[in-house]
Amino acid sequence: MTMSTIKILHTADNHLDPTLTMYRHKINERRKDFWNTFKYLLNYADQRKPDLFLISGDLYDKVNPRNPPRTQILKYFRHLHNKGIKIFLIGGHHDTPRSIEEGASPLDELAASGYVTYLPGINKPAVQHVKIKDLDICISGLTYNFNLNPGEDPLEKTKPKTEGDINILMLHYTIQGFTPTYMTNEPTVKTSNIPNEINYVAAGHLHEHKEKQRGKTLIAYPGSTERRSFLEEKTEKKGFLWIELNQEKTVNKEFIEVPTRPMKTLTYKITPNTKNPTTEIITYAFQHKNPELILRLQITGKVPLNILTQYQRNEILRKLLDHFFYIVIDDRDLIYKAEKFETIERLTPLKAFTDYMNQLIQKEKDPQRKRILELAKEIGIEKLEEAGAW
């Protein structure tokens, strides 16, 4: 007897409608990049018609997205819903309110439309059953909980249900055995607390595609669908997952790449022997000329005053701006080397804030307050970078 197979499209960390004020005059174009990658997978779902469309957190980049993307998403979700595709969502740490003052999640609005099912469980997984073909699919969803301490496991006291023919767990956390690219001090799910009867763990939160098979359980992160910062520039491919499974095993799995905007960092070191730093930096950057590329120039070096005065940041931007999508110049490590006095490190706004927060975190003894300070540091750095601080 042939077992029935269900088809799943799994995505996460789409970060639609990002703030990204650092892009200034290009901000709307950059926001459109995020929408275009998501529209790519929406069209893919329209063509291949999965049984389940799973979004594992951070569909939106914030709890108060603007009206245009919300309207577009509702239109597309209505279309997929009318085709019989069942859409399930959980909240991530970007689109889940941190407090009562922040109000409801924008995912509540989507759920109210009737086109999607939102699983808002925070302290314990929310559970929904859906009938597909001749199978009872049990989906447990766990939305991100800001009250958990670093290392704490959201599944320690409550386990996902495993009462279906096929059991799926959706969560937005780091899972034991998966190394975060840049996040630290996070709540972590222990693999021992994931029941063996779970067929598929549809995970979100990590922005890089990662997966592991444990018995009949496939644990998978699709990664984000667009690069949100230069921390992701080395992630070569962005995309989503197409999964086919039955009661016993994963029948098929595919990583589907989406077209994204490239990002690249170049480092140029100015030395005391540099003749004309401005011209040399421009010439170096021109070797990578690409109107689609987001380029970050990291300028470093300890140089005397006569060299430093020849470094013209605005001239570099003016010459390069028309040859790249956007230019970011990071010259926080370009330091004046005094001839007679001790070198004083340049204290940039970003470094000053980071150093100050690190001091507060180091002095704090209370684990809960320490976690609050770490969150404040994370949010502060994000907002400063968005505002163009260096």
3-state secondary structure the chain: CCCCCEEEEEECCCCECCCCHHHHHHHHHHHHHHHHHHHHHHHHHHHHCCCEEEEECCCECCCCCCHHHHHHHHHHHHHHHHCCCEEEEECCCCCCCCCHHHCCCHHHHHHHHCCEEECCCCCCCEEEEEEECCEEEEEEEECCCCCCCCCCCCCCCCCCCCCCCEEEEEEECEECCCCCCCCCCCCEECHHHCCCCCCEEEEECCCCCEEEEECCEEEEECCCCCCCCHHHCCCCCCEEEEEEECCCCEEEEEEEECCCCCEEEEEEECCCCCCCHHHHHHHHHHCCCEEEEEEEEEEEEEECHHHHCCCCHHHHHHHHHHHEEEEEEEEEEEEECCCCCCCCCCCCHHHHHHHHHHHHHHHCCCHHHHHHHHHHHHHHHHHHHHCCCC
207-229 confidence digits (pLDDT tens)? 999 999 999 999 999 999 999 99
Closest CA to 119 of 172, 66, 158: 172
CA distance 255 to 253: 7
Q: Stretch 5-21: mean pLDDT, rounded?
A: 95
Class of domain 6-257: alpha beta
For residues 253 and 8, is the Cβ–Cβ distance under 8 A? no
Closest CA to 14 of 124, 148, 106: 106
Count of CB atoms within 10 A of residue 8's CB?
A: 22
Cα–chain-centroid distance for residue 108?
21
64-95 confidence digits (pLDDT tens)? 999 999 999 999 999 999 999 999 999 999 99
CA distance 329 to 325: 14
Residue 102 has which token pair? 């922040």
Strand 6-11 to 52-56 pairing? parallel
Residue 201 has which token pair? 């763990």
- Residue 285 pLDDT greater than 80, yes or no: yes
Amino acid letter, residue 37: T
CA distance 333 to 329: 11
For residues 240 and 11, is the Cβ–Cβ distance under 8 A? yes
For residues 343 and 336, is the Cβ–Cβ distance under 8 A? yes
- Residue 184 pLDDT greater than 50, yes or no: yes
Residue 341, pLDDT score: 46
Residue 180, pLDDT score: 72
The pTM is what?
Answer: 0.84
Cα–chain-centroid distance for residue 234?
14
119-175 confidence digits (pLDDT tens)? 999 999 999 999 999 999 999 999 999 999 999 999 998 999 999 999 999 999 999
Residue 156, pLDDT score: 92
Q: Exposed, middle or buried: residue 17 (CB in 10 Å: 0-12, 13-18, 19+)? A: buried
User: What is each CA distance from 245 to 5, 6, 7, 51, 254, in whole angstroms?
Assistant: 5, 6, 7, 11, 12
CA distance 51 to 139: 13
Q: Residue ranges per domain, the chain?
A: 6-257, 262-345, 347-390
Q: Stretch 107-122: mean pLDDT, rounded?
A: 94
Strand 290-303 to 135-142 pairing? unpaired
